[in-house]
Structure 1
Amino acid sequence: MKPAEKLVAADRSDFMTNTPSAVARRTFAHVVWIGDYVYQAGYRQSRSSFESYLIMVVLHGGLDVWCDDGTADGCHARAGAGQFVVLDCRPPHSYGTDEETELLWVHCDGPMVKGYVDLIVGAGHPRMTPVVELRDPTYAIARLRALVDSFISGPRLSEARVGRLLVDVLTECADARLSEIRDDSSRAVAAAQDAVDYIASHLDADLRVEDLAERAFMSKSQFTAAFRKVTGLSPHAYVLEARMRTASYLLTRTDRPIGHIMRACGYADASVFGAAFRKRMGQSPREYRKATRQNL
């Protein structure tokens, strides 16, 4: 079938609708709508909701995608040649291009599809976008091409084999996304550990969470989450704990003046230092030094 949409090159585009059997709806991943489109510059599709999941792969050109990810600004990402787009079409979403773009696409549904899509689009992971980059997309593109060809030019595959091809594509995307999550996790752990080392050697500095996050090339919220995962404390709580631990050690083990210890632990005001120390240790710095030295 030839599309009638504006800014879709009808002479180079085809699509097909599908009505799966009751068995397929209960059992397999199944196709609802499928095609091979060439979009012209300026194409835009916007939907408030559509009852399916969408898989696309860009063959050439580029595609901008916007979706509702639960944040105030929503999510925007751009897919280039060889990259996949995976969308839950039930929330509001849109996509379009400013250049000629060819892509394979399939609207699909089925018992297993939701779980795959939830993983791929990063449910519970704020950094994930609908765009998935595979290390080598050749296999996944070939599987999606075989699926498109079976509907457009035939011969039509059985519903079980259609389901297998869909799951093959989703599995490739899910594997790439899991690798991305593991890589992000490793980088986050390394960044948090680096921050711990930096704090230990800069207790006399103004250790703001924003500055620590900037050193790690992360947003404040991402850095805080990674830091808490590694240390069990927020960055602010960890800095306070490190300063009090260092102050108590210096008060007990050295003869340095309390004012010197205060500045070495990042405090410029004696009353602020004294209040923080008393809250943490139950005594003033002077009382703590006297009591602990008597017990040595």
Structure 2
Amino acid sequence: MDFALILFVLLVTTGAIWLLDRFVLAGKRPAGVAQQWWVEYAKSFFPVILVVFCIRSFLVEPFKIPSGSMIPTLQVGDFILVNKFTYGIRLPIVNRKLVQINDPQRGDVMVFHYPEDPSKDYIKRVVGLPGDTVEYRNKRLRINGVEQAQQADGDYNYVETGLNFVHTEKRVETLGERKHAVLVNPELPTLHLGSVAEFAGRENCSYDDDMVRCKVPEGQYFMLGDNRDNSRDSRYWGFVPDNQIVGKAFFIWMNFSDLKRVGLSIN
């Protein structure tokens, strides 16, 4: 079960008991008689749960990075904070937007509900905005026909899950005026056609062995992982609708395997 839903159920339950005691049970309780244990626990936990629920739903939410799809920007084991109100204030659980604040921008690192399984949260980088034509060909990104600059930045080696050693090239990619690091492996194909799923809006995309090109529908976004050859992203499962957005990642608050990463901002 989704943790936000569990938290909401606990909030409603403890809140209902608090109200019941305040307006019904307390008036019937004889003087000197202690309140029931379940009432005492509910009244104690209700304000704590209320504060946690409000902070997590409307301000910031913590996440842990489980995979290497965003290396080198994010490492496996990073604990990050996600700003929940950057893109608007939303009702928790149903994720319905109440107040519009900002729209996602190219280059944002964004958490969203995975379109193929909304019970899971994914994190990728926004590269395509509504109306954009995004093309990824021969390890290079083009937006509306303009190739996004890449600059070589040496080799990058890491150990992935299963202790497999991976050798890649590190490049600095520019989206507009924003720069970020990406990894590419020239020995691997640009795209694995056999892994492309059927998804809503696939008619907006064309594929061949070396390229994917998509016209991003209105109200949706095209996402890529920074570890380009080790990321299942919009190339394979399509677009992220606005109502699936969780928030913008902005801060690494812990990594027990590498304490030097604590306090790093996410760009």
Max Rg structure: 1
| Higher fraction of strand | 2
- Give the alignment's TM-score, normalised by structure 1: 0.22
Higher relative contact order (CA 8 A, sep 6+): 2
Could you tell me the TM-score, scaled by structure 2's length? 0.23
